[in-house]
Structure 1
Amino acid sequence: MKILLTGASGYLGGRLCHELLKQGYSVRALVRPTSDLSSLPPPSPTGNGGLELVHGDVTDYNSLLSAFSGCDVVFHAAAVVEPWLPDPSKFFSVNVGGLKSVLRAVRETKTVQKVIYTSSFFALGPTDGHVANEAQIHHEKFFCTEYEKSKAAADKIALQAAQQEELPLVLLYPGVIYGPGKLTAGNVVARMIVERFNGRLPGYIGSGNDRYSFSHVDDVVEGHIRAMEKGRTGERYLLTGENASFKHVFDVAAVITQTQRPKFGIPLWLIEVYGWASVLFSRITGKLPLISPPTVYVLRHQWAYSCDKAKQELDYSPRGLKEGLGEVLPWLKNLGLIKY
């Protein structure tokens, strides 16, 4: 079986590429000429089996058509994952336009039997006061970030393609992904732990009323592979995990490392002021901020979800935060990024 993977140079995509190869699949990874390939294994010298790298871009239909040729399964994991960008149009050109190009190429590639599309919990919208499942559709009354808006728009397109055109899509919605791997914006938990243990984040974020569904990256990877093997086309699956606040994350990290818990909470209004200052600094330096005002808008809502459907149909088995952070913290320590 030949698998085409977009987003292979990213945080989730890189882990997925490694696991697919480990399980004996032949992987063709679509990467841009400028992509950082340091987290990927070397390509197969023969091109038969193993990893094959092809240059292209999800916004370039012709490069997709060439890359998809002869492939049986497409994993579309490429996305721009940031809470804020100086040019918000990039969210829509990649996350929406890229998906449109992928679906167009799938329609023209007769060998493709299944498409696994990596969406996001943001596409379903906030869950203030309840725990949502796959039946939730984004209310579209407001969006905390342009990323959220782009993923909700892409979700509509994917659902229409799956349900009305009957394209062989399986839609996946990971939670807040954390674990070993690249310290990108998609690995926000690890980045916040680094800030916490280096004294740059001295307190809890807000009052602890935030709620997220935390997903270990390797569980999400396994969920993707199970979706390829068992997922029903046209269906949505939440690949989420334990619902908790960032306050709970910091408390669990303190217990594991036998260090002190934060003694106070930093008000969200103060974090928002810091976010605006970070955005101003970012426009001067070109370096994207860890915290921006849209990050605070997200923190003012809850994002709690149930993964019961994935457990029942995909044998998805997410680990809890205690187990997951028990792996992340020593990993960060071994890298020299934190001390305890």
Structure 2
Amino acid sequence: MLSKDFDRLDFTMSKKVLVTGASGYLGGRLCHALLNHGHRVKAFVRRSSDISSLPLPSGDGGFELAYGDVTDYSTLLEAFSDCHVIFHAAALVEPWIPDPSRFNSVNVGGLKNVLRAYRETGNIEKIVYTSSFFALGSTDGYVADESQVHSGKFFCTEYEKSKAIADKIALEAAAEGVPIVPVYPGVIYGPGKVTSGNVVARLIIERFNWRLPGYIGEGKDKFSFSHVDDVVDGHIAAMNDGQPGEKYLLTGENASFKDVFDLAATITHTKKPQFGIPLFAIEAYGWLLVVLSRITGTLPLISPPTVQVLRHQWAYSCAKAKAELNYKPRSLEEGLTEMLPWLKQLKLIKY
């Protein structure tokens, strides 16, 4: 017991941490939070990444950039050399891309490279790995916890498949003694970058600009919505208190996208949608967007795999994270009350 307490004290002291995927929606906010907690942060980004949301590099080593790619082992190995903790948040998060093999190279191969670099350097004390609720599988008709294991029999998207495969690799590494703590956020939303990882913001923008005039389907979908700052806090708590090999769901309120649209209307004193758009119609529209995507090179907001996800439920309990990590997710209403004025301030929506 005394040893465990000392381990925790070590992690709550200032550490040099590396964040992969630092230019992403979650990674960027994680970098800021780690700095606020007194840690020295190295942001691992690609040369082509948009780093405008990251802090400015400091001359004292408090914040620095490391350029590379998780698919390039040599760049990871170099970045790991002087760090104590790794937050592996880099991932390709899309329901559909023209070349699906990239999901495996980034999401699976990237994790393998992280584990290889850990074994090579010998100075890493803990790895916090950002998995996904998709890695655990759907929960049609019930609420799941960390004990659920993906059946592997069917995948709605190639992204889901890659995260399920990577999850097994992470847990196998933990069984071999690697100090890795997998965390599983739900559907992340909140202020920050409007990227594919912030799908709630993107759908609300479509809704308020009347490009999405109704509900998506009949409201039978179910997702666990996680505010981005709660997820960031959960990551830091996983570094401090998370036990290697233990799984922690960093999820939140379980609701449908109909609930999201209704809450958004109530908060902004605007009208709720008056009808639901059948999923078969959304799927047909998704196929059209896929065709246009191949022409324009712009990834579609909605694609047929997205509709497959919407045909299932993804409801989870975060009771374990609450008990062991002091995880405190805010309600969906509270989170949207913060998020909607932010979108309005950016002039992305009007109300």
The normalised TM-score by structure 1 is: 0.98
Pick one of 254, 261, 266 that aligns with 1:255.
266
Spell out the pairing of 1:8-157 with structure 2 (5 A cutoff).
8-46=22-60, 48=61, 50-157=62-169
Query: Secondary structure, in 3 states, of the residue corresponding to 1:185?
Result: coil
CA distance, structure 1, for counterparts of residue 65 and residue 196 of structure 2: 24
Spell out the pairing of 1:196-207 with structure 2 (5 A cutoff).
196-207=207-218
- How far did 1:241 drift? 0.1
User: Are residues 1:187 and 2:201 paired?
Assistant: no
Spell out the pairing of 1:315-330 with structure 2 (5 A cutoff).
315-330=326-341
Letter matched to residue 243 of structure 1 = N
Give a deviation string over 1:220-259, Cα, whole Å, max 9, x none.
Answer: 0000000000001110000000000000000000100000
- How far did 1:109 drift? 1.6
User: Are residues 1:292 and 2:303 paired?
Assistant: yes
CA distance, structure 2, for counterparts of residue 110 and residue 303 of structure 1: 38
Pick one of 301, 304, 308 that aligns with 2:315.
304
Query: Secondary structure, in 3 states, of the residue corresponding to 1:28?
Result: strand
CA distance, structure 1, for counterparts of residue 306 and residue 260 of structure 2: 17
Query: Secondary structure, in 3 states, of the residue corresponding to 1:3?
Result: strand
Query: Secondary structure, in 3 states, of the residue corresponding to 2:197?
Result: helix
- How far did 1:45 drift? 2.2
User: Are residues 1:4 and 2:18 paired?
Assistant: yes
Give a deviation string over 1:80-134, Cα, whole Å, max 9, x none.
Answer: 0000000001100000000000000001121100000000000000000110000
Spell out the pairing of 1:229-244 with structure 2 (5 A cutoff).
229-244=240-255
CA distance, structure 2, for counterparts of residue 168 and residue 20 of structure 1: 20
User: Are residues 1:336 and 2:347 paired?
Assistant: yes
- How far did 1:22 drift? 1.3
Identity of aligned residues (%): 72
The runs of at least 4 aligned residues of structure 1 exceeding 4 Å deviation read none
- How far did 1:24 drift? 1.1
Letter matched to residue 153 of structure 1 = I
CA distance, structure 2, for counterparts of residue 144 and residue 204 of structure 1: 21
- How far did 1:70 drift? 1.8
User: Are residues 1:274 and 2:285 paired?
Assistant: yes
Pick one of 178, 182, 189 that aligns with 2:189.
178
Gaps of 5+ in 1: none
Give a deviation string over 1:149-190, Cα, whole Å, max 9, x none.
Answer: 000000010010001x11000000000000001111110000
Aligned residues: 337
Letter matched to residue 176 of structure 1 = V
- How far did 1:61 drift? 1.1
Corresponding residue for residue 257 of structure 2 = 246
Query: Secondary structure, in 3 states, of the residue corresponding to 1:5?
Result: strand
Query: Secondary structure, in 3 states, of the residue corresponding to 2:342?
Result: helix
Corresponding residue for residue 224 of structure 2 = 213
Letter matched to residue 242 of structure 1 = E
The normalised TM-score by structure 2 is: 0.95
CA distance, structure 1, for counterparts of residue 199 and residue 75 of structure 2: 31
Considering only aligned residues, what root-mean-square deviation do their CA atoms show, in Å? 0.6
Letter matched to residue 121 of structure 1 = F
- How far did 1:140 drift? 1.1
Query: Secondary structure, in 3 states, of the residue corresponding to 2:127?
Result: strand
- How far did 1:330 drift? 0.2
Letter matched to residue 20 of structure 2 = T
Corresponding residue for residue 159 of structure 1 = 171
Query: Secondary structure, in 3 states, of the residue corresponding to 2:254?
Result: strand
Letter matched to residue 131 of structure 2 = S
